[in-house]
Each structure stands twice: as structure tokens, then as C-alpha cells.
Chain A
Amino acid sequence: MAFLRETSSARTYPLTSATTVIGRESTCDIRVTHSRVSRRHAQIICVEKEYFVEDLTSANGTFLNGERLREKARLHPNDRIELPGLAVSFQEEQVPNPAAQPAFASTPEPAPDRTYIASAFDLKEGLRVEVAPEAKLRAVLEISKNLSGALNLETVLPKILESLFTVFPQAERGFILLLDPSTAQLRPRAVRRRDDSRDETLPLSQSVVKHAMKTGQAILSGDAGHDARFDGSQSVRALQLRTVMCVPMLSQQGTPLGVIQIDGQNPLKKFEAEDLDVLLCASAQAARAVELAQLHEARRELEAATEIQKSFLPRERPQAQGLRFVDHYSPAQQIGGDYFDYIPLPGNRLAITLGDVAGKGVAAALLMAQLSAFTRFCLAGEPNVGKALSQLNALLSRTASEDRFVTFVAAVIDLGTFTATLVNAGHPPLLRRRGSEVEELGADIAGLPLTVIDMPYDELAITLEPGDALLLYTDGVTEARNSRNEVYGLERLKALMGQGEPDVEAMGAAIVAEVRRFEAGRPASDDLTLVGVARER
């Protein structure tokens, strides 16, 4: 660390900030009360570990090693600086690796003695209404007024800081950090500076921020500045350059959403405990706005995924001589995990495909989009349906994450001969109705769900006789549960198909209606999808 030492005494002045001003004015870092000293007489500047002395156009001059300074000059150890009433020498002491701390204060952990907590109180204890009630009301009103109608974080966060700058005139910088739920990391999402100073450092005290997040406490702290040269041997309080307020934003359930930090560098306008109280009040209001915006964004994401999904579900049933179709798709949540498609194929063939992607939400919807595209690609290019399924598996395996898998079933119908080729990857068996007989097909040829391991898939060829119906369905049908937690089950489904409507559309409608009746108003926990095809008599 560098310092100035008086030549006539042992008194030292540590050079702890980028600029140390010497002069008669009370705001100077080193105050000299001599009558011939200018208000702001000279300054010591630190630029990248090098120190310079500069005369601030003083009336009576600054002298370096006996010569009057004409321009900024580099300082070397034992250089003498003289001005009226002050004679000092420049000293530098080697501090172990002071350069190790980068300018961005967001990375290093300040030593505990560099930051002290002046005041901390628990949000969970509730707000102390008796402290500065008018200021609190003003803060809350200011934020509410500013935030009305703002629904996305890009708008909300800057507005919160804007409001806080109105409430706290001494605030010079403000930050909002939000917890990224996917990484559990705090990320700076909004920054505001009162002036346009080219201060590139991000004066975030990580230890204070972490403390606030972990404990849910609001913190008012003093900080000696993130000056790597400050060795902590001086009284931190005496050298305190800025005050920082850091408050967590808590959701309505009390989980941390992020933190607001504001700081001021003017030592004459420090934040007081009362200000922290006001900021706490404001942060509660801000947290509501953040929560609302996050909900809104999540919904937008959901809507996007729903759009993706809708775009690859077929818009209409195919027209094929002698065949009738039915399909039903109802997702349990906004985004389902089920997929089905009708795919016209070369050689006068039509594929009916149906799949169930494990998991819900956006990631599942994206995997489903891939499933849809890859299925079309593989079936169109490979006439052997079993081989096409093996290819599909290999393609999907490359992109699917480890714990996602897809159960899949398909029937490729030759529209000229009414033969159908069936494949199955870990999916409930296809059902064929012939008269009143209902049969499970393809148990022997079924393989593992897609994306698990590379494996060959077998196929099974069957014939659709006049009047035959095929049903493809997801486990949302067979695993629907009633109030006694019993599952609907394959046997009920087969019985209904066997006795029920001969017309395939009516059959599909009857299955959906009976499953819904079985659930008796319980919200469905899984998507319900079915596709049926019947050969006309």
C-alpha cells in the first residue's frame, strides 16, 4: 500500500482511493489549513498501481523534489511533495500480491473486516411501521405509481431503481440481482447510476449480497471501498468511503427472489438505519412486481411451447378411400407430453403415429417437435418400418437428455391392400377390434422406449378386414384414476370397444366420455390422446 509521510513527524496519510485530494476545503481527503493553500490544491492519482501527483492550478504551487510542478508527474518512493503547510514524502510498501483482486468487485470476496454490517434486521420479523412512516408511504407510492401496468422484467427492474433514486437522493448506484432458478445463481439484471461517471467497477459486495440472500436480512453496511491496496490495518470505519444498503426481495411464500443493492459514495450523505427501513418497505413492493413479471414471463414461455406443440399436431383427419378416422387430444396441462400425427408416405401408404414424451413443459415440447420432424423424415426415407423406427431412435438419442424418453407406436397402412405394419417402442399395445373381439397386438415385437439404447425394432404385419378398427392410445386412457385411486385399465377399455359403437368416431367419443366419467371430475393427471382408424364395411 502507498502512503504519504510527513517529513517533520511520523504522521502518515494512506492513499486508499483512486484520487486523494489535498487542500483547504473540508471535503478534501487531506486537509491543510494553511492560509496560502488553495481550496483544492493538489491531488494524488492512482492509475493501475502507479501514482501521480498533479497540481490543481493552485495559486502558490506544488513542489516535487524542490521543483514546481508544471504537469502531472509520476511518483517514486521517497519523492518529496511540498506545498504551503505540508511537506510529505511518498512511500510504497510491498503488500503481498495486491494485484490479485480484479477491478470487478463482483468476483473477490472482501475480507470480513473490510465490510462491516452497521445494521441488519430480519424481514421475517415484519416491517417496523413506526420508523419514518411518511417516507415509507412515499416510497411505496412511488414504486406503485411507476410500475402500474409494467409486466416484463426488462421494464420493471429499471423502473424500480428509478423509483428508489427518487426516494433516496443520496443513492448513486443501484443494482438488482435476481436468482436464476435454473442455475440457482444470482445474476445482475438491472444497473443504474445517477451520474454518467465512467466508473467501470461493479461495486457489488458479494459477501453482503450472499448474506442478505441466505439470512433474509436487510443490511446496511459501510465499506472501505474495493481498493486492493487497503490492507485493513487502519480503522475501517474511519476510512469508510461508501455506505451500502442491501435488501432481499422475498416472494409471497418467503423464498428469496433476489436482492436490491443501492450505495452512496458521498461520506456526508451516508445511509442511516432509517433509510434501510424505508428500502425494506420499497423492496416488498418491488418483490411483488418482480413476482408478477416472472409469472407473466413463465406464462409467455408456456404459450410459446403450446404454440410449438399445436403447430405439429395435425389440423385435419386424412381422406382415404374406405377408411374412417377418429382422434382426440386433451393435454392435462397447458403443454402436453403426447404427440400424434398422420403422415402420407410414398407407395400409397399412410402412417398413423402416436407418442408420449416423459416429462412436461418446454423441454418436453421441444423434444416432441424433434420427434415429429424426425418421424416424418425416417418413415418417408425407409420403407421398412422397423428399420425406420431404429433410425428414429438413433437420431433422437443424439439430442434427448439422459432421463428423457419417448414411448412410441405406429401403424403404417397400405391404402391399396389394407395391410398395416405395426411398430412399438415401449408403448401400451395397439388394440384391434374385429366384431366384438378386441385383441392386443404387437406385444412380441415391442422394444424399449426411444432414446434409451440403440437397438433393432421389429415390425408386425396385419390385415384390416372390412369392419376392423385399430386403436392407438396413450396411458392417459388406461391409467386414468377414479376417486378410489383405481386405474381405468386395459380390460375396461377392451370391454367398451367390444360392446360399443361400430362407428369409429362414435367409438372414440364413447371412450373419452367413459374415461371422463370414470375420473368423475378429478382433474386428469396425464394427457389423454387416442387415434382410431376403421375399415368401412
Chain B
Amino acid sequence: MALRIEKFGDVAVATLTVAQFDAGYADEFKREIAPVLKETRKLVLDLANVEFVDSRACGGILSCLKRLSEAGGELKICQANEFVRNVFELIRLHRVCQILGTKEEAVAAFSAGPATDSAR
């Protein structure tokens, strides 16, 4: 299993279990996240284990964002390390998707209403 899925009310938390989120893992991620995206409109990606992301990983995360926003849902990210955070900032992901410190904060951010970070 590439993803561990937990439910907190109507929020799904998907924890990635690999350190290198790259081309070799992107397809697996896509396959395993697909059923989750069908069921939920509130998704947290927990990147605590992830040390590295590449463009394919960004593609995978961006496609989650795409699917969720089409369905009127929302994506939040938590526990991204500095490298991963820098990559996300480079592609401006942080402008439309809150990046939070802990899983609890990310789950709580949904009940706190729309993300202020992503307001444009």
C-alpha cells in the first residue's frame, strides 16, 4: 500500500508511505488516491514521510487539486518538509492550497471554513 487512508468525520487524510515521491511512485499514488477522490471532497495529504518530490509527484498532487476543485472540494497538505515546501512554492501550490504543520491542524482547518491563504 502506497497510501494509508484515515477518516476524521467527512475529512479523509491520505498519508504517503514513501520517502521519494517521484516518477516511480506517481502512478501508484494516482491509482490509490482515485477511489478516495470519488468519496470525499475534503482531502488532506500528509507528507510527513516524504523527503523528495519531483515534477511527476507535483502532477499527481495537482491532479488531485484539479479533481477536487471540479467537484467543489478542497485539498490541504500537512507536514511537508522544507524541500517539498520550496517545490510547492515554486509552482505556487501554496496559493490555492493550505500547507499546514500537523495533521490535526489540517483536519481542523476544514471546519474553520474556507482557507484564507488561497483567497485571491
| Interfacial residues, chain A to chain B (CB-CB below 8 A) | 358-359, 402-405, 407, 425-426, 428, 446-449, 451-453, 455-456, 475
Q: A403-B30, A455-B120 are in contact. Are A358 and B92 (CB under 8 A)?
A: no
Picked from B55, B60, B63, B95, the residue with its CB within 8 Å of the CB of A448 is B95
Residues in A neighbouring B30, C-beta threshold 8 A: 403
27 sampled A-B residue pairs with Cβ under 8 A: A358-B55, A358-B56, A359-B55, A359-B56, A359-B59, A403-B26, A403-B30, A403-B60, A403-B63, A404-B59, A407-B91, A425-B92, A426-B90, A428-B90, A446-B92, A448-B62, A448-B91, A448-B92, A449-B91, A451-B66, A452-B62, A452-B66, A453-B70, A455-B96, A455-B120, A456-B120, A475-B90
* Minimal beta-carbon separation of B92 from chain A (angstroms): 5
- A115 → chain B closest CB, angstroms: 35
Separation of A402 and B58 alpha carbons in the complex (Å): 12
User: Are B67 and A402 in touch, CB under 8 angstroms?
Assistant: yes
Q: Does any Cβ of A come within 8 Å of B69's Cβ?
A: yes
Give, as a whole number of angstroms, the nearest-CB distance from B16 to chain A.
16
Q: Is B65 an interface residue (CB 8 A)?
A: yes
Check if B93 is an interface residue, CB within 8 A of chain A: yes
A416 → chain B closest CB, angstroms: 32
> Considering the complex, which residues of chain B in the window 58-104 have a beta carbon less than 8 Å from any beta carbon of chain A?
58-60, 62-63, 65-67, 69-70, 90-93, 95-96
Across chains A and B, the number of contacting residue pairs, with CB separation under 8 Å, is: 55
B93 touches A358 (CB 8 A): no
Q: Least Cβ distance of A133 to chain B in Å? A: 45
Alpha-carbon gap, A358 to B96, bound state (A) = 20
Q: Contact check: which of A359, A405, A475 meets B62 at CB < 8 Å?
A: A405
- Bound Cα distance from A446 to B70, whole angstroms: 22
The prevalent SS among residues of A at the interface is loop
Which of A358, A359, A453, A475 sits near B66, CB closer than 8 Å? A453
A453 / chain B contacts, CB cutoff of 8 Å:
65-66, 69-70, 96
Residues of B within 8 A of A (CB-CB), count: 21
B92 engages A426 (CB within 8 Å): yes
Taking chain B's interface residues, is the majority helix, strand, or loop, or is none over half, making it mixed?
helix
- Chain A hits for B65, CB < 8 A: 452-453
Counting chain A CB atoms within 10 Å of each CB, which of B26, B56, B90, B120 scores highest? Answer: B90
Residues from chain B with Cβ under 8 Å of A403 in the complex? 26, 30, 56, 59-60, 62-63
Given contacts A402-B63, A426-B92, A452-B63, 16 further A-B contacts (CB under 8 A): A358-B55, A359-B55, A402-B66, A403-B26, A405-B58, A405-B59, A405-B62, A447-B95, A448-B91, A448-B93, A448-B95, A449-B58, A449-B62, A449-B92, A455-B120, A475-B90
Known contacts: A402-B67, A403-B63. The answer to whether A358 contacts B58 by CB under 8 A is: yes
Expressed in whole angstroms, the Cα–Cα distance for A404 and B67 within the complex equals 13
- Cα–Cα, bound, A493→B93 (Å): 24
Point out which of A359, A425, A449, A451 has the most chain B C-beta atoms below 10 A from its C-beta: A449
For A446, the chain B residues whose CB sits under 8 A away are 92, 95
Give the docked Cα–Cα distance between A349 and B63 (Å).
Answer: 35
CA separation between A405 and B59, bound complex, in Å? Answer: 6
Compute how far the CA of A412 lies from the CA of B23 in the bound complex, rounded to whole angstroms. 34
CA distance A404 to B30 in the complex (A): 12
Verify A448–B96 contact, CB threshold 8 A.
Answer: yes
CB distance from A325 to the nearest CB of B (A): 26
